[in-house]
């Protein structure tokens, strides 16, 4: 080892899902939206004046902050935006989790949380989900340095009701509680209405899932003006210009088209419920998803083998080689046509499995 390597910070990095680029692939592994962004986004992209790129973007991202504040029914000073919700969450970890006490998040959850905790040297503990993969809210009613969890949770797809989240808040009023609502638009219950009652609550959402803009990287947080002020202080200590001109313009258009938003999220929810029924008919068990994906298992199939078999057919789903969930696959909800291709393969797989028995 070189002498300088002794001073390198080492972390175990987050492992994203495969990002294949094959002509006829069916990509159901990274929870992207299968439908295009709102029509206004496409129009704004066509009309975009590239001359503005010679100028720095608005460091306060005012246009985007303003439409998000209107959409969420909060004040402008209650909104923070970043380069995807990962950027927002990383800033929040650095800003709010600086106690010597451990922060709390579930043992099965978004796998970036332990990465950030280790990178920023934040002590943490992971209360286990129960046998049905539900968050046990009582496990968060103890001394800690902060609380964070996705709602709906990932990769399990299960959600707490707003009253259950509020119970966690009531027991944690001396620390910051972050509710990561990346998937809330597919049937979860947002706790945005609680931000004016709890000045320690930060709600984080993203444009990557329900607004079909994973490629633009837009995330935002809503909280009390004091929380947002602290977040901005940390942001400006790193980079004042995090949101580029084009992203800001297209982000505004994505928020303004509420009808299209409702249409696409509604289609995904309907496809998800139809998928649960079809998969149940093929012997799969799935949890009661409130997200844009299903977490499924089959009593007779090894999840990793099925994952590999699907991959050979250019159908990509997500497999987690981790304790308690190694028999499960996470399947993003695609278009009806994409899901039919998945069912067709699974029917052939079932026939082959039956024959081998």
Question: CA angle at residue 142 from 138 to 146, to 5 degrees?
Answer: 105
Q: How high is the pLDDT of residue 33? A: 98
Among residues 76, 96, 82, the alpha carbon closest in space to that of 177 is found at 96
pLDDT tens-place string over residues 174-232: 999 999 999 999 999 999 999 999 999 999 999 999 999 999 999 999 999 999 999 99
Among residues 206, 234, 235, the alpha carbon closest in space to that of 59 is found at 235
Q: How high is the pLDDT of residue 310? A: 97
The answer to whether residues 162 and 122 touch, using CB atoms and an 8 Å cutoff, is no
Domain at 22-35+259-356, CATH class = alpha beta
pLDDT tens-place string over residues 49-77: 999 999 999 999 999 999 999 999 999 99
pLDDT tens-place string over residues 123-170: 999 999 999 999 999 999 999 999 999 999 999 999 999 999 999 999
Percent of the chain beyond pLDDT 70? Answer: 99
Q: How high is the pLDDT of residue 285? A: 97
DSSP string, 84-138: HHHHHHHHHHHHH--SSSPEE--SSS-THHHHHHHHTT--EE-PPP-TTS---GG
The answer to whether residues 32 and 17 touch, using CB atoms and an 8 Å cutoff, is no
pLDDT tier at 295, thresholds 50, 70, 90: very high
Cα dihedral 66, 202, 229, 80 in deg (nearest 10): -30
pLDDT for residue 15 is more than 70: yes
For tokens 């910051």, name the residue: 176
The sign one gets for the Cα dihedral 19, 23, 29, 30 is positive
pLDDT for residue 357 is more than 70: no
- Per-residue burial over 79-111, b = 16 or more CB atoms within 10 Å of its CB, e = otherwise: bbbbbbbbbbbbbbbbbbbebeebbbbbebbbe
The answer to whether residues 219 and 204 touch, using CB atoms and an 8 Å cutoff, is yes
Where is pLDDT greater, at 113 or 354?
113
Rounded Cα gap, residues 328 and 336, in angstroms:
22
Q: What is the architecture of the domain spanning 39-256?
A: 3-Layer(aba) Sandwich (3.40)
Average pLDDT, the chain: 95
How many CA within 13 A on the CB side of residue 218? Answer: 26
Where are the domains positioned within the chain?
22-35+259-356, 39-256
Q: How high is the pLDDT of residue 22? A: 80
Q: What are the residues whose beta carbons fall under 8 Å from the beta carbon of 244, sequence distance 6 or more?
A: 57
pTM exceeds 0.85 for this model:
yes
DSSP 54: G
pLDDT, average across residues 263-284: 98
Cα–Cα distances in angstroms (integers) from residue 24 to residues 20, 325, 352, in the given order: 11, 29, 24
Say how many Å lie between the first and final Cα of the chain, rounded: 53
pLDDT for residue 14 is more than 80: no
DSSP string, 224-270: -HHHHHHHHHHHHHH-S--S-HHHHHHHHHHHH-HHHHHHHHHHHHH
Strand order in the sheet with 177-180: 79-82, 219-222, 201-206, 177-180, 147-150, 103-104, 124-125
Q: How high is the pLDDT of residue 7? A: 82
Among residues 154, 165, 139, the alpha carbon closest in space to that of 287 is found at 154
Distance of CA 334 to the CA centre of its chain: 16
pLDDT tens-place string over residues 76-108: 999 999 999 999 999 999 999 999 999 999 999
């Amino acid at each position: 080892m070189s002498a300088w390597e002794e001073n390198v910070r080492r972390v175990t990095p987050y492992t994203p899902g495969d990002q294949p680029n094959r002509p006829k692939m069916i990509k159901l592994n990274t929870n992207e939206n299968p439908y295009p962004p709102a029509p206004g986004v496409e129009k704004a992209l066509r009309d975009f004046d590239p001359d503005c790129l010679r100028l720095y973007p608005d460091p306060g991202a005012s246009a985007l902050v303003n439409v998000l504040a209107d959409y969420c029914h909060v004040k402008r000073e209650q909104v923070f935006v970043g380069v995807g919700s990962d950027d927002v969450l990383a800033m929040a970890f650095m800003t709010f989790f600086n106690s010597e006490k451990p922060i709390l998040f579930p043992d099965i959850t978004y796998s970036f949380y332990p990465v950030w905790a280790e990178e920023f040297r934040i002590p943490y503990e992971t209360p286990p989900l129960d046998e049905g993969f539900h968050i046990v809210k009582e496990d968060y009613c103890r001394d800690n340095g902060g609380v964070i969890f996705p709602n709906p949770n990932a990769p399990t797809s299960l959600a707490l009701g707003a009253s259950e989240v509020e119970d966690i808040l009531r027991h944690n009023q001396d620390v910051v509680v972050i509710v990561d609502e990346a998937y809330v638009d597919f049937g979860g219950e947002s706790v945005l209405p609680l931000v004016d009652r709890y000045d320690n609550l930060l709600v984080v959402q993203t444009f990557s899932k329900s607004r079909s803009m994973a490629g633009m990287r837009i995330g935002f947080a809503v909280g009390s003006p004091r929380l947002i002020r602290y977040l901005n202080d940390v942001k400006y200590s790193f980079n004042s210009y995090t949101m580029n001109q084009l992203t800001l313009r297209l982000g505004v258009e994505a928020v303004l088209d509420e009808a299209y938003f409702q249409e696409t999220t509604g289609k995904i929810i309907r496809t998800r419920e139809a998928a649960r029924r079809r998969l149940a008919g093929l012997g799969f068990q799935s949890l009661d998803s409130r997200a844009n994906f299903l977490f499924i298992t089959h009593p007779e199939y090894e999840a990793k083998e099925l994952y590999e078999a699907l991959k050979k057919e250019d159908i990509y789903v997500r497999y987690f080689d981790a304790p308690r969930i190694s028999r499960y696959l996470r399947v993003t909800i695609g278009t009806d046509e994409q899901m039919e291709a998945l069912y067709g393969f699974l029917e052939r797989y079932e026939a082959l499995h039956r024959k081998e028995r």
